Structure 1
Amino acid sequence: MYQLAPNIELLFTEAGDYQDRVRAAAAAGFTAVEMWGPTGVDAPAKPKDLPALKAALQETDTVLTAQLAEPRTQFMIPPWDHSEFYRKLDEGVAIANELDCPRIVVGSGTGFGGWKRQVQLDKLVEIYQKAVAQIEGSGITLVLEAVNIRVDHPGSLLDRTAESAYVARAVDSPFFGILYDLYHSTVEGEDVRAELANAGDLVRYVQIADAPGRGEPGTGAIDWEEALGILRESGYDGPIGLEYYPTTESAASVEYIRRLVSA
């Protein structure tokens, strides 16, 4: 059975602050959660209370499965100066280790119209080979996410699962893989079975939401019984992040996918 991890940016917001959302998720029977950036979108004015978040995770015996890199990876190739990403990466790794979070989610940022696509992908390989070398020994795995450009992330360079797999294979590290987001993949019109047949060995994390609308599973057109079956056939047995905008109260919104996973 898959371990489901509600995203505490989007789910259980009824409970209050982030640490309270962890407690609410645990009270609803979850053993894991995920989040976006470790300091939060309101930092520095109102950053996440990381000590309180850690206390809530420990108190409820809840695992934090993933957090985003800060700043959210926004490479434009060129310019060549990515020093802020590398500087903040060390801070992110320190926070991840403090919270016992094994994964940091990274991306590609926007593309550059004057460069061939292959050249840009190869530049991403260089960037992430350097990043993996920088955090060697930390135990943290970087997971590269391809996102849809049709609805949510227009202008992003990396929008195809196969291209994220290309970068991951070229980086060639056990501490670098891909995040397969079934929602983004579906919005881009990809065939889930074909994509996982090609990239399944590189998948280190999975996120889901229904499409269209990015609501909870069961509110869109995705056949979730089939999708979960394909995911299982691909060999993935890690946690699944619930990164969706609930259309109802959080605990109610997870009932359908929890029943499918438990079955």
Structure 2
Amino acid sequence: MYRLAPNIELLFAEAGDYHDRVRAAAAAGFDAVEMWGPTGADAPAQPKDIPALKAALEETGVSLVAQLAEPRTQFMIPPRDHSEFYRKLDEGVRIAQELGNRRIVVGSGTGFGGAKRQTQLDDLADVYRKAVGQIEGSGVHLVLEAVNVRVDHPGALLDRTAESAYVARQVDSPSFGILYDVYHSAVEGEDMAAELAAAGDLVQYVQVADAPGRGEPGSGNLDWAERLGLLRSAGYDGPIGLEYYPTRESAASVQLIQRVAAQA
């Protein structure tokens, strides 16, 4: 049985503020959640009430299993000043520790003309090698996400699972892995079984949404029993983030993936 973690930016918004969404997720049978950025530096552009969120997590026994790094730095755009990313990384780690979270999701930003793609990937590995060194001993892991450029993130540098795995191998740290997003991978036309086989044990987190449309599992064309079976066959047994835009009320939108995950 997979442990599912609704994204409280997108799900259970009917309940109100973020701490109330945690309580609503718990009432719907979940013991984990994920979220985007905590401080309002990026999406959403509003700081979270960290003490209230912590209280809701402790009250319900729900675990926070992932949050986004802030800011979502455009690493490759000149003048390539990453100081704000590194500064905010320390703040994000402190918040993660306060909330009991062990994962921060990071990305690549966009590329720029004049440098070969391989050079850009190596530069990205340098950024994250430094980041991992900065937070060493914190207990927090960074997971690198490749996103689709066909629909949601045009211009992003990192759009292939294999390239996120390449960067992770260059960073070469147990505190750095990849986030495999089933939706982004499907939109890019990747072969899920082949990508997971090649990524090996680098996959430290998984997110899901259906394709097309990025709605709840069951709203698109993906076979979720097959997809979760592929995850299981690849050896992944960690939590799965539900990062989708629900097409109906949140508690109803999770029913299919809850049933499939219970059998996977």
TM-score, normalised to structure 2's length? 0.97
- Cα deviation code 1:143-189 (max 9, x no counterpart): 00000000000000000000000000110000000000000000001
Query: Aligned equivalents of 1:209 and 1:73: distance in 2?
Result: 24
Structure 1: how far apart are the matches of 2:179 and 2:44?
A: 25
- Assess if the C-alpha contact under 8 Å between 1:76 and 1:111 holds in 2: yes
Question: Counterparts of 1:179 and 1:85 in 2: how far apart (Å)?
Answer: 19
Corresponding residue for residue 215 of structure 1: 215
Aligned to 1:111: 111
Aligned: 1:92 with 2:100: no
Which residue of structure 1 aligns with residue 228 of structure 2? 228
Deviation at 1:72, TM superposition (A): 1.5
Mapped contact 2:179–2:207 kept (Cα < 8 A)? yes
Superposed CA offset, 1:74-99 (max 9, x none): 21254231101001100000000000
2:9 alignment counterpart: 9
- Matches of 1:42 and 1:192 in 2, distance apart? 30
Matches within 5 A, 1:122-161: 122-161=122-161
Instruction: Give unpaired runs (5+ residues) of structure 1.
Output: none
Map of 1:165-204 to 2, 5 A cutoff?
Answer: 165-204=165-204
Aligned equivalent of 1:250 = 250
1: CA distance between counterparts of 2:71 and 2:81? Answer: 14
The DSSP-based 3-state class of the residue aligned with 1:21 is helix
Name the amino acid aligned to 2:242: L
Aligned mates of 1:75, 1:86 — CA distance in 2: 11
Gaps of 5+ in 2: none
Helix, strand or coil at the partner of 1:111: coil
C-alpha separation in 1, matches of 2:18 and 2:80: 36
Q: What secondary structure, in the 3-state scheme, does the structure 2 residue paired with 1:230 have? A: helix
CA RMSD for the aligned pairs?
A: 0.9
Q: CA deviation at 1:126?
A: 0.5
The separation in 2 between residues aligned to 1:137 and 1:152, in whole angstroms, is 35
2: distance between equivalents of 1:168 and 1:2? 24
Q: Distance in 2 between matches of 1:240 and 1:73?
A: 25
- Residue 113 of structure 1: CA displacement? 1.7
User: What is the DSSP-based 3-state SS (H/G/I as helix, E as strand, rest coil) of the residue aligned with 2:94?
Assistant: helix
- Identity value in percent: 79
Matched letter for residue 52 of structure 2: A
- Residue matched to 1:262: 262
Return 7-16 or 31-40, whichever deviates more.
31-40
Task: Provide the rounded CA distance (Å) in 2 between the counterparts of 1:13 and 1:169.
Answer: 37
- Matches of 1:142 and 1:42 in 2, distance apart? 20
**2:208 and 2:243 in contact (8 A); partners too:** yes
Question: What is the alpha-carbon distance in structure 1 between the residues aligned to residue 17 and residue 230 of structure 2?
Answer: 36
Structure 1 residue 139 displacement after superposition = 0.5
Give CA-to-partner distance per residue, 1:103-151, whole Å, 9 cap, x none: 0000000001211000000001100000000000001000000000000
Residues 36 and 44 of structure 2 are in contact (CA less than 8 Å); yes or no, is this contact kept in structure 1? no
Q: How many residues align?
A: 261
How far apart are 1:15 and its partner, in Å? 0.1
TM-score, reference length from structure 1: 0.97
Map of 1:56 onto structure 2: 56
Equivalent AA in structure 2 for residue 185 of structure 1: S
Is residue 239 of structure 1 aligned with residue 239 of structure 2? yes
Shift of 1:42: 5.2
**Which deviates more from structure 2 when the two are superposed, residues 66-75 or residues 94-103?**
66-75
- The answer to whether the Cα contact below 8 Å between 1:77 and 1:120 also exists between their aligned partners in 2 is no
Q: Which residue of 1 aligns with 2:80?
A: 80
Secondary structure of 2:220's aligned partner:
coil
